Structure 1
Amino acid sequence: MRFQEDDFYIKKTLEGNLNAYGQLIQKHEKYAFTLAMRILKNREEAEEAAQDAFMKAFHSLKTFEGNAKFTTWLYKIVYNEALGRLRKSKHHTVQLEEVEELAKDGVDYLDGLKSLQLAERKEFIQQGLDAMKSSEAAALTLFYLEEQSIKEIEDIMSLTNSHVKILLHRGRKNLLDSLRTITKSELIHLL
């Protein structure tokens, strides 16, 4: 589905069109969930955090001034909601995010093999992110998966420029270390 610009949906929502807000949720729900998942590392908690964040955003939409991108404003709400839940829960259970269904109707053998390789890579990266500190995983997710700028990450996470850069640097290093450990362990199990 092709979406309109966020401003279109915001304007329609403020005019009372709830379907427009539904479209805005559909447009951003995957990224909101992914960010919450990086922090909470629990699928159910992440889903609830993302849902609650969308509710808070809806009730505060009239205060959105447009000084920053809507996604920056929304992800800050998601980030704060997930952090609040993490503080309340005080437990750090790690559950792997389910790998997306990659098989498509009518794919040939090579496409199926590529899909399996992609799914395996995604699983390794997910395991690596789950093993990291929440703040590093969130920073990497925002920067690489959601393509937020360092300035936007500063706003979302309420951190300084240098702190964001440190999180990204440490996060990349720790993710690489985690991936080395995970893949080494997988190779040992194959032998």
Structure 2
Amino acid sequence: MKNTTTHLDLSAFDDADLVSQARLGNTDAFRVIMQRHNRRLYRAARGILGSDAEAEDVVQDGYLQAFTHLDTFRGEARLSTWLTRIVMNEALGRVRRRRHIVDLSALEQAEGGQAQILMFPQPSPTQDPEAEAGRAQLRRMVEHAVDELPEAFRSVFMMREVEEMSIEETASYLGIRPETVKTRLHRARRLLQKALQARLVATMKDAFPFDGLRCNRVTDRVMQRLQRQP
């Protein structure tokens, strides 16, 4: 990849302009694209794989695939949609290679009946260190409970409740019907409700962060690998 930088302030650029800059070899544009979309892609990958390390690897591989084929992005879909599809295809490919198949029909029959709906309110801001420490502990408990969900339920739950994608987006990404998204989400909520007390759900909006050192690490690794591309 040709290494070209500018002194432009790219933070206010929209995705289309960032793509144009990236095609010109502006490395700052690649960084801004990654920083803007890292969290969504990581959450999508982690929802499928259930592993921090594997999700990071998949996000990096997805970016490399996207950036080395940036000329194929026509702008017919949003950049976030295009990137998410690439990352999810990579994550699903890893699952298929592991040959871990979930018998969803058996799971859903075992969870028969109407699933109760959980609400996940936005936590109120606080500067209390003890409250923040308690929230961090609860968040880890929530993350652990989500990790234990069957993969197909977990991926839907991560997209709908954590990343707040629409039913239609989730169905499109996973290649399933919107009705199936609703059913799996209800089953996931039911399983989580059995594992957690009501007070734990207040931490959901803080769950699975992707910022700070982790975000920078993935961005830096992708940039290093891109610079080695011919």
TM (normalized to structure 2)?
0.64
Unaligned runs of 5+ in 2: 1-9, 102-125, 201-230
SS at match of 2:69: helix
- Between the aligned partners of 1:175 and 1:26, the Cα distance in structure 2 is 31
Match of 2:172 in 1: 155
Aligned pair in 2 of structure 1 residues 150, 55: CA closer, same or farther (>3 Å)? same
Counterpart residue number, 1:16: 25
* TM alignment of 1:35-184, pairs within 5 A: 35-90=44-99, 111-180=128-197
Alpha-carbon distance change, 13 to 34 in structure 1, aligned in 2, over 3 angstroms: same
Query: C-alpha displacement at 1:42, in angstroms?
Result: 2.1
Taking CA–CA contacts closer than 8 Å with sequence separation of 6 or more, which of the two structures ends up with the larger relative contact order?
Answer: 2
Q: What's the counterpart of residue 105 of structure 1? A: none
Contact 1:76 1:155 in 2 (8 A): no
The whole-number CA distance in structure 2 between the counterparts of 1:69 and 1:154 is: 16
Q: Which has the higher helix share?
A: 1
- Structure 1 length-normalised TM: 0.75
Return the letter of the residue paired with 2:44. L
Question: Which consecutive segments of 4 or more residues in structure 1 shift more than 6 A?
Answer: none
Counterpart Cα distance in 1 of 2:34 and 2:196: 33
Does 45-54 or 171-180 show the bigger shift? Answer: 171-180
Paired residues in the alignment total 165
SS of the residue 1:132 aligns to: coil
CA distance in 1, matches of 2:182, 2:174: 12
Coordinate RMSD, CA, aligned: 2.5
**1:2 Cα shift?**
5.4
- Identity rate of aligned residues, in percent? 30
Report the CA distance between 1:74 and its aligned residue. 1.5
What is the DSSP-based 3-state SS (H/G/I as helix, E as strand, rest coil) of the residue aligned with 1:139?
Answer: helix
Q: Distance in 1 between matches of 2:52 and 2:39?
A: 12
By how many angstroms is 1:122 displaced? 0.9
**Aligned equivalent of 2:223:** none
| Residue deviations 1:57-77 (CA, integer Å, cap 9, x gap) | 213332223333222221121
* Secondary structure in structure 2 of the residue aligned to 1:62: helix
When residues 131 and 59 of structure 1 are mapped into structure 2, their CA distance, relative to the original with a 3 A threshold, is same
Instruction: Encode CA deviations 1:42-95: one digit per residue, 9 max, x unaligned.
Output: 222111111111111213332223333222221121111111112223579xxx
8 A Cα contact 1:9 1:20, kept in partner? yes
Measured in 2, the distance between the counterparts of 1:72 and 1:79 equals: 10
